[in-house]
Chains A and B, each alone.
Chain A
Amino acid sequence: MTASAIYGLMAEFETPTELVEAAKGAYAAGYRKMDAYTPYPLEEAAEAIGAHHNRVSLVVLVGAMLGMVGGYSLEYWVSAVAYPINVGGKPFHSWPAFIPVTFECAVLGACLAAVFGMLALNGLPQPYHPVFNAPNFVRASRDRFFLCIESQDPRFSPSDTRKLLESYKPEEITEVPY
């Protein structure tokens, strides 16, 4: 079997501590194309595989700005341009009265950007992914911790990578087919 015929090698661990140790070891050995799978957010695991920074905050900032500018422009255009009505002698462009809606629109834009931006950056929805081919992978959403070193990694070799993973005493190592 050539290296590219499989998606990667997956090691299964019983505790988060073992997973993080193995992930740190694999990172130190020079592997970069790998991912950890955990049943709950585990900050240490993301750090160990070198995925600490993300661009969600930037997307949210853009969403908030768009909402804010959009909300205020709408109010200005409606109240001063399209449909100017004199209310108690207030100026058509009465900005203090426009603040609440501007605020709400900014929050709305930011919330939509946070959720849909997170999903888009994660590549979800994704109907198929090779890791689900690993027989025991259903436990990744239950009580097991997985580390998958992908065959795309230049250092990947079925025998050496397996040896490295074995040195961390996983419950099981499986080859993940495409």
Chain B
Amino acid sequence: MAAPDILPPKGVRPPIIGPGQTFGTITDRIAGIVLTKHTPIFWVAIVAISLALFGMLQTAVGYLLVKGVGIWGITIPIGWGFAIVNFVWWIGIGHAGTLISAILLLFKQTWRTSINRFAEAMTIFAVMQAGLFPLIHTGRPWLAAYWLFPIPLTMGVWPQFRSPLIWDVFAVSTYFTASFLFWGIGLIPDFATLRDSAKTLVVRRIYGMLAMGWRGSAKHWNRYETAYMLLAGLCTPLVLSVHSVVSLDFAVSVVPGWHTTFFPPYFVAGAIYSGFAMVLMLAIPFRYLYGMQDFITLRHLQNCGKLMLATGQIVAYSYAMEMFIGWYSHDKYELAMVNNRLHGPYSHYYYMLILCNILIPQSLWLNKVRSTPWMLFLVAVVVNTGMWLERFVIVVMSLQRDFIPSSWGMYWFTKWDMMIFIGTMGFFTLLFFIFIRLMPAISIFEMRNLIPQAKVKE
């Protein structure tokens, strides 16, 4: 275990890497998590719990496939329910990874280095959970292939390219592929390090195959860096496009509460907000459990807190605008939507949302909160709860009461909804901890770049 967090005196920012590190110590500390024969007891405990939750997910999905989506709480007029709420929530969480690895790289924010690897892994695993929901929401996922993708079949039926739902398929699958490539290309030199530090032949062979013969040649690094920067440049508009397209699923319709032009930036800000909350929810236990305080320092936590604060203000502004435009439009359906949020049957969800996403996160203005890991962790949990409530408010409260009172309805989720939702959290945690055990959770080669010895002296 590393030394506990010490906050430097006022006016001095904590370093992005602890003092006294060398190329060798960085390599040994990070590779040591993977190459040790000793599996920590907390790892076994966490994986056991998440395996149990994953089992629950499989059971619930299995029953869903046998019985159909009738086991969920969805009814007309609320046909989207938990599946779409959870889809948008997970895909939003998946946004911070690429933001950290691509946008912060282009802005030369070197502090991103120690959190980018596991944030990318988080992105991939979150997008996997997200992708599950629309698939099972179709009820017959084995048919979803030709509903979603342009596949030549004898029926001659093709997807409708004018629909945002099909844009969504392309956006999410491109995002998954690009994030996976970005993560994979970053892992190649680190696999080479694991190959060269492995103690047994089998381990050396496995990481050797994954490293594909990487030998750190300057000519290779030169092409590698070009490819990496180009990927970052490509992923930057991509990450902004994904949640914009998700928001168009709503905004292109005519339902009051969905039909607004400012949905894309509002959704993107919310996605980054929840993504950074999830980064903190993973980074704080990780650095504590593995004693990584020298690599993920208070500086990283503070910066994530600041980014949450900034995106949280954009989200707050969007909530205000949503209500203001509803009133300003003088459209009776928009006014009814505002009224429904404030006084309707689900208004407690709306007030909880304001509490979780606007009021409590204001505590991030205080340096004390940003520099105290457990406080930051609590705020992150609250924000992710709030972001889930936001999607519930958008999906359910808008569908619940549209134009004609005779078609109004209510939505009650069932235990199967809950089991699948909590099951995906277990699946996510399971994948994440398997990743930590088998692959370097912090980019080793990029960390070497951060220490003073790495610079060429003139």
Contact = CB atoms under 8 A, between A and B. Distances in A.
B99 interface: no
A54 interface: yes
B449 to A, nearest CB: 5
Interface string A144-165: 0000000000000000000000
Interface of B is mostly: helix
Given A74-B150, A108-B178, A143-B23, A40 B170 contact: no
A16 B216 CA distance: 13
B237 A107 contact: yes
Given A51-B218, A100-B241, A141-B193, A40 B446 contact: yes
Given A129-B213, A141-B189, A141-B216, A90 B162 contact: yes
- Which of B182, B223, B226 has the most A CB atoms < 10 Å from its CB? B223
A56 B170 contact: no
Contacts of A101: 161, 166-167, 170
A110 B196 contact: no
Given A37-B218, A74-B150, A78-B159, A107 B234 contact: yes
A35 interface: yes
B158 interface: yes
A64 B191 CA distance: 29
A1 B455 CA distance: 38
Contacts of B218: 23, 35-38, 42, 45-46, 48-49, 51
Contacts of B225: 41, 43
B230 A100 contact: no
A126 B129 CA distance: 35
A100 B216 contact: no
A98 B163 CA distance: 9
A139 B192 CA distance: 11
> Chain B interface residue count: which class?
35 or more
A87 B221 contact: no
A175 interface: no
Given A40-B448, A46-B218, A103 B177 contact: no
B178 A40 contact: no
A60 interface: yes
Contacts, number: 200
Interface string A69-98: 001001100110011010100100010011
B178 A119 contact: no
B160 A87 contact: yes
B213 A110 contact: no
A91 to B, nearest CB: 10
- Identify whether the interface residues of A are mostly helix, strand, loop, or mixed: helix
B197 interface: yes
Contacts of B453: 15-16
Interface string B26-37: 010000000000
B221 A124 contact: no
B220 interface: yes
B184 A35 contact: no
Contacts of B214: 124, 141
B457 interface: yes
A131 interface: yes
Interface in A97-126: 97-98, 100-101, 103-105, 107-108, 110-112, 114-115, 117-119, 121-122, 124-126
A20 B218 CA distance: 11
Interface in B216-244: 216-227, 230-231, 234-235, 237-238, 241
Given A98-B161, A111-B234, A119-B212, A38 B185 contact: no
A127 interface: yes
Contact of B213 (A98, A125, A143): A125
Contacts of A52: 222
A111 B456 contact: no
A42 B456 contact: yes
Contacts of A173: none
B375 interface: no
Given A40-B454, A143-B24, A35 B213 contact: no
Given A112-B177, A138-B196, A132 B27 contact: no
B193 A104 contact: no
B166, B238, B446: residue with the most chain A Cβ atoms closer than 10 Å: B238
A112 B181 CA distance: 8
Interface in B164-190: 164, 166-167, 170-171, 174, 177-178, 181-182, 184-185, 189
A46 B216 CA distance: 11
Contacts of B184: 115
Contact of A44 (B27, B227, B456): B456
B157 interface: yes
A140 interface: yes
Contact of B227 (A56, A74, A75, A107): A56
Given A46-B222, A100-B167, A37 B215 contact: yes
A94 to B, nearest CB: 6
Interface of A: 15-17, 20, 23, 35-46, 48-49, 51-52, 54, 56-57, 60, 71, 74-75, 78-79, 82-83, 85, 87, 90, 94, 97-98, 100-101, 103-105, 107-108, 110-112, 114-115, 117-119, 121-122, 124-129, 131-132, 137-143
27 contacts: A15-B453, A37-B215, A37-B217, A39-B27, A40-B446, A41-B224, A49-B219, A54-B222, A56-B227, A82-B158, A90-B162, A100-B164, A100-B171, A107-B237, A107-B238, A111-B181, A114-B227, A114-B230, A118-B227, A122-B219, A122-B220, A122-B224, A124-B213, A141-B189, A141-B192, A141-B196, A143-B24
User: Lowest 8 A-B CB distances belong to which pairs?
Assistant: A143-B23, A125-B212, A126-B213, A118-B227, A36-B218, A138-B196, A83-B158, A46-B222
Given A100-B245, A128-B213, A141-B193, 4 more contacts: A15-B453, A40-B449, A49-B219, A78-B158
